[in-house]
Structure 1
Amino acid sequence: MNLKISRRAAAVLTAMALFAGIASEAARADSLARIRASHTLTLGFLAGNAPFSDGDEQHASGYTIELCQAIAEQLRQQPGLGDLQLRYQPLTLDKALDTLRAGQVDIICSPMVETLQRRETLSFSLPVFTAGLGVIVRRDAPQSLLAPLSGQPIEHGPTWRATINQGLSKHSFAVLRGTTTVEWARQRIRELGLQSRLEEVDNYAEGVRQVDAREVDAFFGDRMVLLNLQTRQADPQALWVPEKLFVMSRVALALPRNDDDFRLLVDTALSQAMRGPAGEARYQRYFGAPSELSRTLFQLYPLP
């Protein structure tokens, strides 16, 4: 009898724990109810990630910040939310997604690569940009390093692999901690059998600083961000961002998982903000005139 009672009690406790977990997740996922209750939309973003996002708790700016402000305008059209306030929350890359999972921010207003692993615990908006992985180096770096990083043609004979290895081996490279670039760089180093040092940095500014100070030889990151930071250096001409793109990825805004109503509102606002002449004008303010490929992708992302 006691054994049966113990088993029943265990089953009840398990069911209660499961229900509590589901209820807790549902509560965290109901973004619209939380926003209506607080009359506040909390925008998490990565500072120092211009031209996409930059700023502090008082003010934020950038391309994806403007897209999030369009989401706020969409929310203000909802009944009872005409006085919706915006709250900006600067985040570090290593803490950003955990902060969103915990419900401390409503959305991440910096572009994130959508991966299957991240989709296990998060959701994502429709794509907002096509990011390209580039590199920044010093202009006075040896040609044996500059050539393979810039995509200059190299003889494809028996010495091709040796030539690549000679140029890249025994150099040091930096990547942004917590990004998909880390594993990409490690895999390239393994594939080529390089004797290279890989450093992980916490933000873009630190990566560029290390290249400028000759602490590392090159820093891989989003090419648009690298170009923006190059122009801010005391001697911009000392650094170089080649046109070569090593990886292209669609990026989106990270959202709470299992919250279809909020995601629908976000995608509706983004589609309206990116569509038509006004959307292209916003793009040009931050990135210049789009190429034909960029214009085609830009037209595909908004939903009808």
Structure 2
Amino acid sequence: MAAGRVALGLSVWFAAQAGVSTAMAAPAKADAVVALPKVNGDLTGTLKKIRDTGIITLGYREAAIPFSYVNDKGKPVGYTMDLCYAVVDAVKTALNLPNLRVREMSITPQNRIPLVKNGTVDLDCAPNTITPERAEQVGFSNPYYVSEVRLLVNKKDNIQGLEDLKGQNLVASAGSTGERLARMQAEKIGYRVIPARDHGESMVTLETGRAKAFALDDVLLAGFRANARDPESFVIVGAPLETELNALMLPRDDLQFKRFVDTTLAHVYSSGDIRRIQRKWFQQPIPPRNVNLNLEPSKEVVEIWRKGSHVTE
């Protein structure tokens, strides 16, 4: 993993949050557990809407294994769903809303930003990449993961990277960073980019041979490979097209709600709960096919947890 670029990205991100979020990059006692958030003063923005309506709306993906996907019982589950439900539990306590209703809404890479911007979705519980362009329209929590955009290909095609795709089709989910990065080199190399509705459709396009490569975050690609009809037929290849910080997406300029979400994440990180969640979704069998991804957290991911574990009032 491109550790230097990630370290710079982390430093820039947390420095930019100073005075905006309660989460800070400064060292703290190793045994200090951050308390769950409280709301001081009048409610505004998203938290006020949640209190007034008694409803919080969470966005999820149908096939972003292991972060956010639908299991065999039709229930949205995953690593980021667990993080979002930690926020839900904190809201119930802080706002004294034991009967808070949770509305779960299936959304896609194309419509997530409009739905968060217009207030339809309060918190998008999916592997969202923090980018400057998106930050002009929506807000982000402190990051919870680091990933790399790479390619999933069929072994028999002997593809090692983008340069081997001349004259071929590459599939990427419309609105994803995979699509954006793939298009940047499509004309130069001479491949075609097929935009799919979502990640599940992208995988079907690859499996049926309509595309020779699928561009997406490496962790998500590992999930699709593990759950493919013939996992051994596929391999993740190529130098990283980009190293990304992943975060929960929320309304822009809603500082009260951002502080609330970041402090909840800081509690999850500092209490050690994040290790349990990591093991649950990355290091043991998960539905729907009881596949174990066997992915240890990278040092960059552990650093994200460390930096996001500290808060000041």
TM over 0.5: yes
Q: Percent identity?
A: 23
TM-score, scaled relative to structure 1: 0.78
Kindly indicate whether the alpha-carbon contact (under 8 Å) linking 1:171 and 1:196 is maintained by their aligned counterparts in 2: yes
Partner of residue 260, structure 1: 255
Deviation of the 1:127 alpha carbon: 0.8
Partner of residue 138, structure 1: 154
More helix by share: 1
Is 1:297 the counterpart of 2:304 in the alignment?
yes
Kindly indicate whether the alpha-carbon contact (under 8 Å) linking 1:131 and 1:248 is maintained by their aligned counterparts in 2: yes
Larger radius of gyration: 1
Partner of residue 244, structure 2: 249
Partner of residue 181, structure 1: 178
Kindly indicate whether the alpha-carbon contact (under 8 Å) linking 1:173 and 1:196 is maintained by their aligned counterparts in 2: yes
Cα-to-partner distance string for 1:204-249 (whole Å, 9 max, x where unaligned): 1221222221111111011111111112222111221237533111
Picking from 68, 73, 82, the partner of 1:53 is 68
2:275 partner amino acid? E
Structure of higher RCO (CA pairs closer than 8 Å, 6+ residues apart): 2
Picking from 187, 194, 197, the partner of 2:189 is 194
The alignment's C-alpha RMSD in Å is 2.1
Alpha-carbon separation, structure 2, partners of 1:79 and 1:172 = 51
Distance 1:79 1:276, change over 3 A: closer
Kindly indicate whether the alpha-carbon contact (under 8 Å) linking 1:93 and 1:177 is maintained by their aligned counterparts in 2: yes
Distance 1:274 1:244, change over 3 A: farther
**Which structure 2 residues correspond to residues 108-257 of structure 1 after superposition, within 5 A?**
108-142=124-158, 145-146=159-160, 148=161, 164=163, 167-190=164-187, 193-242=188-237, 244-257=239-252
Task: Name the SS for the 1:206 alignment partner.
Answer: helix
Deviation of the 1:102 alpha carbon: 1.4
Is 1:40 the counterpart of 2:55 in the alignment?
yes
TM-score, scaled relative to structure 2: 0.75
Alpha-carbon separation, structure 1, partners of 2:297 and 2:140 = 24
Alpha-carbon separation, structure 2, partners of 1:81 and 1:58 = 26
Kindly indicate whether the alpha-carbon contact (under 8 Å) linking 2:265 and 2:308 is maintained by their aligned counterparts in 1: no
Task: Name the SS for the 2:237 alignment partner.
Answer: coil
Cα-to-partner distance string for 1:59-105 (whole Å, 9 max, x where unaligned): 32111100000001111112431222212111122112111111112
Cα-to-partner distance string for 1:131-177 (whole Å, 9 max, x where unaligned): 211211111003xx33x46xxxxxxxxxxxxxx5xx33212211111
1:43 partner amino acid? L
Bigger shift: residues 78-87 or 61-70: 78-87
Alpha-carbon separation, structure 2, partners of 1:58 and 1:273 = 26
Task: Name the SS for the 1:93 alignment partner.
Answer: coil
**Which structure 2 residues correspond to residues 57-76 of structure 1 after superposition, within 5 A?**
59-76=75-92
Kindly indicate whether the alpha-carbon contact (under 8 Å) linking 1:126 and 1:302 is maintained by their aligned counterparts in 2: no
For structure 1, list consecutive stretches of 5 or more residues without a partner in the other structure: 1-28, 150-163
1:40 partner amino acid? I
Alpha-carbon separation, structure 2, partners of 1:302 and 1:244 = 31
For structure 2, list consecutive stretches of 5 or more residues without a partner in the other structure: 1-43, 283-294
Task: Name the SS for the 2:66 alignment partner.
Answer: coil
Alpha-carbon separation, structure 1, partners of 2:65 and 2:192 = 27
Alpha-carbon separation, structure 2, partners of 1:174 and 1:251 = 21
